[in-house]
């Protein structure tokens, strides 16, 4: 239910697109899978160099 807010809001306002919905679902699915894996795909030092990246990516650490 929570993830549907970002896809349904633009659709109901009349400015949504199929590509936007597909890209959003693909991004959320990829980040969710990456966060549940047992290895670091992105090194921890990258988050120290660019701290806002931790709000855009979901990793095990």
pLDDT of residue 49: 94
**Is residue 18 assigned to a domain?**
no
Q: How many domains does the chain have?
A: 1
**Is residue 12 assigned to a domain?**
no
**Is residue 55 assigned to a domain?**
yes
**Is residue 8 assigned to a domain?**
no
**Is residue 43 assigned to a domain?**
yes
pLDDT of residue 12: 92
- Domain with 61, as residue range(s), is 23-61
Of 31, 36, 53, 56, nearest to 44 (Cα)? 53
Question: pTM score > 0.85 for this model?
Answer: no
As a whole number of angstroms, the distance between CA 52 and CA 61 comes to 15
**Is residue 10 assigned to a domain?**
no
As a whole number of angstroms, the distance between CA 60 and CA 49 comes to 18
**Is residue 7 assigned to a domain?**
no
pLDDT of residue 44: 86
Per-residue pLDDT band at 3 (split at 50, 70, 90) = confident
As a whole number of angstroms, the distance between CA 21 and CA 28 comes to 11
Dump pLDDT digits (tens) for 22-57: 998 898 888 888 878 877 778 889 989 999 988 888
As a whole number of angstroms, the distance between CA 3 and CA 24 comes to 9
Comparing 38 with 13, the larger pLDDT belongs to 13
The phi-psi region of residue 43 (left if phi > 0; otherwise alpha if psi is between -120 and 50; otherwise beta) is: beta
């Amino acid at each position: 239910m929570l993830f549907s807010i970002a896809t349904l809001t633009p659709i109901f306002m009349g400015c949504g697109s199929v590509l936007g919905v597909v890209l959003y679902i693909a991004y959320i699915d990829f980040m969710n899978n990456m966060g549940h894996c047992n290895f670091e795909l992105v090194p921890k030092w990258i988050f120290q160099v660019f701290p806002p990246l931790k709000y855009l990516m979901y990793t095990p650490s």
